[in-house]
Chains A and B, each alone.
Chain A
């Protein structure tokens, strides 16, 4: 199996994630799409590590997982707080920060 296929998969996952972020209103779904994009990137990193035959890409993938874990903690806390105060998890309802 050609190793490039992993990269294609990564690109497809990233694209699905990006489109999901742009088109979906539910904050939880948007959040999951972001996770999808992060994991697509991770897959690309690991694939590149494999292609290059060193561990650099795998190390970066670990870092990405740590950052993603932190992000989930903070992000979910924000989403829950917004839901409590506004009774809505739609990102379009949280649009007060504008000129």
Chain B
């Protein structure tokens, strides 16, 4: 029996604050952002208190729960709205509230010129509440509520500047792509209920041996579909690039650090299903591997700094998904990469926001160049994030990414070698495109084409970036020290304490290989982008570059395979409706009208013609009677 704890405040605080801001309207314009930030910080404090309390307890009594109310009670089907805080969810709680609070602070300055800043903070708080519900729910159904909540928050924030039609379209695109994934989650919940009669994590975990492998595979594949939608994995990844339409803090918080990693959380949380469903696990590996290369290749060609970072996010989440597909050993490394990625990617996004802030909202890196001189602190923090993501020791990404590459090689056989090489290749491309971003933005000739020099951002923006940079330096070392996170998560994801019996390559060799490919990637980028650049993207480029600029034709594919046929289906159905259903109704109407206008000429007002008709009628009647009787 799990001990009870007061967890509801984690969700209630930001939800309440969001409601106040939305209901109070313009009255809260002057203090709304301050309250939202304080509430977020309070939530972080509650999370930190829970974390230290959890650390103080013995391993088997760390998880705590709280039943809020009985949600659904129909016959034998009972769902409580309950919260569960265990070793896995606390990682997310701290990441969400910690990074969330820093981004709240950043947004105060970043959004200070926006008239709708209060609404922005209301949505941010709502997002925090929904995301916390997602990671704290103790059943798939509770998780689903949070899952939809973050989808809504994401939609509202991507389309925050919806006065621009393209931004509104981007929001819709994200929402619709997420819907496809959500169908997967709801189907998974239904199959789980049909199979186990239960939707809680604990209930399903205890019954997995009763289910057939087909059922488990079906649940696993549906969960994977859900993860693909939310985490922008192949083939549902196309929305993430456009989601950069949202304000940069949103890209940092929702589309880099937290929400898009919900898919990784979902798979890690469902480890008891995936460990018993090898086919689903294989698909997880394939999806992860494909996406990490897919995202990396797109990242090499994007000139929009935010889209390049978004492609990188896609690719890094591909690493995490791949790690979750590696079984009990992989989950902890996926979560570790998720946490370190949360720090360095958020810091880089905020850095990009800082550059945009100083450059009149320009996002095209071809029009940057030499910004480092004018924005030294932003350049420094961005550089730290850069070193972390490409995996230079002792920065955070080195610890987490190396572990994934190593575990991929250790998966054994052809599978291990394929995955290992894919992750290595991904690391090389990552090094290349991140170096490209850094060189194009901070070094080289100044290409912005106007006299106003970029200016460094205010302290309110630089402090959060600085704190996140500390995370991108230290988090990898701290999390992997004495395999701390791995042991911390073991009760949840690896209860049998499995380890690979034999290592394919010794860790030091893997690290050396990774470092080597990173150096290769960096050198290629340096050679290619050193010296002066033009302010416009070259038109004569290789076919692969052209493809990468178009997101490897994913949008075109979606358009040809889904959108156009869907549209023609809809227009055909519309025609059918117009011609047949409406046609019948209109036929009835027009027949009545024509008959009426014809018949009314009979009523001409001439008494004699009425009399004639009476006579004819009487004669006709007589004829009929005569004919019938005779």
Residues of A in contact with B (beta carbons under 8 Å apart):
18, 21-23, 25, 30, 91-92, 94-99
Q: Is B541 an interface residue (CB 8 A)?
A: no
Q: Are A18 and B615 in contact (CB under 8 A)?
A: yes
- Interface size class, chain B: 10 to 19
Q: Are A22 and B605 in contact (CB under 8 A)?
A: no
List residues 579-624 of chain B with CB under 8 A from any CB of chain A. Answer: 600, 603-608, 611-612, 615
Q: How far, in angstroms, from A91 to B606 measured CA to CA in the complex?
A: 7
Flag B25-55 by CB within 8 Å of A: 1 or 0 each.
Answer: 0000000000000000000000000000000
Q: Are B600 and A99 in contact (CB under 8 A)?
A: yes
Shortest Cβ distance from B616 into A: residue: A22
Specify which chain B residues have a CB less than 8 angstroms from the CB of A95 in the assembled complex. Answer: 604-607
Flag B494-528 by CB within 8 Å of A: 1 or 0 each.
Answer: 00000000000000000000000000000000000
Q: Are B608 and A22 in contact (CB under 8 A)?
A: yes
Specify which chain A residues have a CB less than 8 angstroms from the CB of B611 in the assembled complex. Answer: 18, 21-22
Specify which chain B residues have a CB less than 8 angstroms from the CB of A92 in the assembled complex. Answer: 606, 608
Q: Can you list 7 residue pairs at the A/B interface with Cβ under 8 Å? A: A22-B612, A30-B607, A30-B608, A91-B607, A95-B604, A95-B605, A95-B606
Q: Are B605 and A91 in contact (CB under 8 A)?
A: no
Q: Are B608 and A98 in contact (CB under 8 A)?
A: no
Q: Are A99 and B603 in contact (CB under 8 A)?
A: yes
Pairs A-B, 4 closest by C-beta atoms = A98-B605, A95-B605, A99-B600, A91-B607
Shortest Cβ distance from A91 into B: residue: B607
Specify which chain B residues have a CB less than 8 angstroms from the CB of A30 in the assembled complex. Answer: 607-608
Specify which chain B residues have a CB less than 8 angstroms from the CB of A91 in the assembled complex. Answer: 606-608
Specify which chain A residues have a CB less than 8 angstroms from the CB of B608 in the assembled complex. Answer: 21-23, 25, 30, 91-92
- What is the distance, in angstroms, from B527's C-beta to the closest C-beta of chain A? 92
Q: How far, in angstroms, from A25 to B608 measured CA to CA in the complex?
A: 8
Q: How far, in angstroms, from A35 to B615 measured CA to CA in the complex?
A: 16
Q: How far, in angstroms, from A99 to B607 measured CA to CA in the complex?
A: 14
Shortest Cβ distance from A33 into B: residue: B611
Specify which chain A residues have a CB less than 8 angstroms from the CB of B615 in the assembled complex. Answer: 18, 21-22
Q: How far, in angstroms, from A56 to B241 measured CA to CA in the complex?
A: 102
Q: How far, in angstroms, from A79 to B607 measured CA to CA in the complex?
A: 13
Specify which chain B residues have a CB less than 8 angstroms from the CB of A23 in the assembled complex. Answer: 608
Q: How far, in angstroms, from A91 to B609 measured CA to CA in the complex?
A: 11
Q: How far, in angstroms, from A98 to B601 measured CA to CA in the complex?
A: 9
- What is the distance, in angstroms, from B107's C-beta to the closest C-beta of chain A? 73
Specify which chain A residues have a CB less than 8 angstroms from the CB of B603 in the assembled complex. Answer: 98-99
Shortest Cβ distance from B601 into A: residue: A99
Specify which chain A residues have a CB less than 8 angstroms from the CB of B600 in the assembled complex. Answer: 99
- What is the distance, in angstroms, from A89's C-beta to the closest C-beta of chain B? 12
Q: How far, in angstroms, from A25 to B600 measured CA to CA in the complex?
A: 23
Shortest Cβ distance from B606 into A: residue: A95
Best-buried of A91, A94, A95, A99 by chain B (most CB within 10 Å): A99
- What is the distance, in angstroms, from B167's C-beta to the closest C-beta of chain A? 60
Q: How far, in angstroms, from A95 to B611 measured CA to CA in the complex?
A: 13
Q: How far, in angstroms, from A54 to B612 measured CA to CA in the complex?
A: 35
Q: Are B604 and A98 in contact (CB under 8 A)?
A: yes
Specify which chain B residues have a CB less than 8 angstroms from the CB of A25 in the assembled complex. Answer: 608
List residues 229-249 of chain B with CB under 8 A from any CB of chain A. Answer: none
Specify which chain A residues have a CB less than 8 angstroms from the CB of B612 in the assembled complex. Answer: 22
Specify which chain B residues have a CB less than 8 angstroms from the CB of A18 in the assembled complex. Answer: 611, 615
Best-buried of B600, B605, B606, B607 by chain A (most CB within 10 Å): B607
Specify which chain B residues have a CB less than 8 angstroms from the CB of A21 in the assembled complex. Answer: 608, 611, 615
- What is the distance, in angstroms, from A16's C-beta to the closest C-beta of chain B? 13
Shortest Cβ distance from B597 into A: residue: A99
Shortest Cβ distance from A18 into B: residue: B615
Specify which chain B residues have a CB less than 8 angstroms from the CB of A22 in the assembled complex. Answer: 608, 611-612, 615
Specify which chain B residues have a CB less than 8 angstroms from the CB of A99 in the assembled complex. Answer: 600, 603
Shortest Cβ distance from A23 into B: residue: B608
Specify which chain B residues have a CB less than 8 angstroms from the CB of A96 in the assembled complex. Answer: 605
Q: Contacts A18-B615, A22-B612 hold; do A94 and B604 have CB atoms under 8 A apart?
A: no
Q: How far, in angstroms, from A98 to B602 measured CA to CA in the complex?
A: 9
Q: How far, in angstroms, from A40 to B615 measured CA to CA in the complex?
A: 15
Q: How far, in angstroms, from A23 to B607 measured CA to CA in the complex?
A: 11
Q: How far, in angstroms, from A10 to B612 measured CA to CA in the complex?
A: 20
- What is the distance, in angstroms, from B625's C-beta to the closest C-beta of chain A? 16
Specify which chain B residues have a CB less than 8 angstroms from the CB of A97 in the assembled complex. Answer: 605
Shortest Cβ distance from B612 into A: residue: A22
- What is the distance, in angstroms, from A81's C-beta to the closest C-beta of chain B? 16
- What is the distance, in angstroms, from A38's C-beta to the closest C-beta of chain B? 14
Q: How far, in angstroms, from A30 to B611 measured CA to CA in the complex?
A: 11
Known A25-B608, A95-B605, A98-B603; 17 more pairs at CB < 8 Å:
A18-B611, A21-B615, A22-B608, A22-B611, A22-B612, A22-B615, A23-B608, A30-B607, A30-B608, A91-B606, A91-B608, A92-B606, A92-B608, A95-B606, A95-B607, A97-B605, A98-B605
- What is the distance, in angstroms, from B470's C-beta to the closest C-beta of chain A? 90
Q: How far, in angstroms, from A35 to B400 measured CA to CA in the complex?
A: 116
- What is the distance, in angstroms, from A39's C-beta to the closest C-beta of chain B? 17
Shortest Cβ distance from B607 into A: residue: A91
